Chain A
Amino acid sequence: MMLTDRHFGTSFFSAAGGGDPVLFQHVFWFFGHPEVYIMILPAFGVVSQIIPTFARKKLFGYSSMVYATASIAFLSFIVWAHHMFTTGMPVAGELYFMYATIMIAVPTAVKVFNWTATMWRGSMTFETPMLWAIAFVFLFTLGGFTGLMMGVAPADMQYHDTYFIVAHFHYVLVTGALFAIIAAVYYWLPKWTGHMVDERLGKIHFWWSAISVNVLFFPQHFLGLAGMPRRIPDYSLQFADWNMVSSLGGFAFGLAQVFFMYVVIKTIKGGEKASDQVWEAAEGLEWTIPSPAPYHTFETAPEVR
């Protein structure tokens, strides 16, 4: 539709030709909102693998986890217009999208409580993957809370298009999705390469990232609440201090990820030999095959107890 608007003189999205630019926003966010859950649901799965391993307990409430995932996936399809509270929807529409959006907090909270309950009275150890997974739970929840704030339609009138939004989605995507990917890499890297990760370097990477990412994104909440708009190259003077703090955090976080590449390449090249089991309490078929995993595995189906 964009292509035909651009080249063939249609005007789906142009008010001048009888179309409607808001239609574009509806079409985009009907895709865009489920898209953000495509990025976060696998992260939930990763964390649900890692936390039981290092808490040495079964995942608390497995079936409620599965139902929570399913209901988040379903709800994600019916909340798209919460990105568009300021487009002048009818009040009934605003109310519906507000309630539906806030409803997502219920299954998400079920997950957070389950992860916490998994750790409760577990025999916990804090290897690098576990540190990333715990940071995920804590910081993703923080991003979820700001999401709730924006889900309240009247409050969103204030937050819309400010740095508050930027802070929110970086908390759920960077400390959410990206942290989960990094946790997964640290967790399964011994299985992929046959070498243990240098714990000292992994922990340096973790603390370096976890501190700098908060220096980077936390001040953006203040900037947004104070009214700094997003996507602008210049700003008025009262925003100067926190922007400088945020930039410094940004450079540090960027550098930390270059360090991550060094840690990964070092692990590929060598390091302490990994056992097949790798982590003491890890469960699943991938821990029954040798480390590194041979080129072909399970050519005959394994027996599952």
Chain B
Amino acid sequence: MSTATTHDEHHHHPTGIMRWITTTNHKDIGTLYLWFSFIMLLIGGAMAMVIRAELFQPGMQVVDPNFFNTMTTMHGLIMVFGAIMPGMVGLANWLIPMMIGAPDMALPRMNNWSFWILPFAGTMLVSTLFMEGGGPAFGWTFYAPLSTTFAPDSTDFFIFSVHLLGFSR
């Protein structure tokens, strides 16, 4: 398999932060996905810790009920859309080209864009926590009418960010 080892040593690519922002390399993008996924795992995990701390003993000790509901909702959304799915996409980005002997993913520029939508969507989702009326508190399944008639204003941001998170795959 000599062909595999004779790679181009003289490529030019930006260094520092611009390397990561402009990269079309499947390995760089895979790494970005995996770190994003891990950071979201820790954020969603911190929320799970709040949930378990409140449930440690019966009665209300740590947080108020609305914030508790916000935590369960955001924990679910962040773990599903922020941790597990990008984690799988990160693995796929790193490994599929190497497994099939391809130089890169198809449509590498779109691959880059696809990743960079994620941090913005994730930030928007987390930012709903700090909005007036609090973040979404209706469970990650956002059943109507809790998510329509009785929901806080931040729900619009939630809808948009979940669309972006799904769209970025």
Contacts and interface: CB of A to CB of B under 8 A. Distances in A.
Interface string A8-44: 0000011000000100110010001001001100110
B144 A13 contact: yes
Interface residues of A, number: 62
A302 interface: yes
B36 to A, nearest CB: 13
Nearest to A32: B141
Contact size range, B: 35 or more
Interface in B34-69: 34, 37-38, 41-42, 45-46, 48-49, 52-60, 63, 65, 68-69
A173 interface: yes
Given A14-B149, A299-B103, A254 B141 contact: no
Contact of B100 (A21, A244, A285): A285
A2 B58 contact: no
A303 B3 CA distance: 8
A258 interface: yes
A239 B48 CA distance: 19
A192 interface: yes
Contact of B148 (A14, A184, A243): A14
Nearest to A184: B91
Interface string A283-305: 01110111001111111111110
B79 interface: yes
A66 to B, nearest CB: 15
Given A14-B148, A233-B55, A297-B7, A6 B156 contact: yes
A176 to B, nearest CB: 10
A298 B56 contact: no
Contacts of A188: 91, 94-95
B48 A231 contact: no
Contacts of B126: none
Contact of B42 (A6, A185, A258, A289): A258
Nearest to B67: A233
A231 B95 CA distance: 38
Contact of A299 (B7, B45, B52, B139): B7
Contacts of B4: 285, 288-289, 297-298, 302
A254 B1 contact: no
Interface stretch (A53-61, A89-97, A127-135, A245-253): A245-253
Contacts of A286: 95, 98-99
A243 B11 CA distance: 57
Interface string A245-269: 0110011001001100100000000
A42 B1 CA distance: 28
B5 A290 contact: yes
Contacts of B110: none
B42 A42 contact: no
Q: DSSP class of B's interface residues: helix, strand, loop or mixed?
A: helix
B1 A297 contact: no
A250 B52 contact: yes
B135 interface: no
A285 B52 contact: no
A247 B48 CA distance: 10
Contact of A301 (B3, B88, B92, B155): B3
A180 B1 CA distance: 30
B132 interface: no
Contact of A298 (B53, B87, B103, B151): B103
Interface of B: 1, 3-8, 11, 13, 25, 27, 31, 34, 37-38, 41-42, 45-46, 48-49, 52-60, 63, 65, 68-69, 72, 79-80, 83-85, 87-88, 91-92, 94-95, 97-103, 139, 141-145, 147-149, 151, 155-156, 159
Which 8 pairs of residues, A with B, have the shortest CB-CB distance? A13-B144, A233-B68, A250-B52, A286-B98, A24-B144, A247-B52, A247-B56, A42-B88
19 contacts: A13-B145, A14-B149, A24-B144, A42-B91, A42-B92, A178-B87, A181-B88, A191-B98, A192-B31, A233-B68, A244-B57, A246-B55, A247-B52, A247-B55, A254-B48, A257-B45, A297-B4, A298-B3, A299-B7
Given A188-B94, A298-B3, 6 more contacts: A5-B148, A14-B148, A28-B141, A257-B42, A300-B3, A302-B1
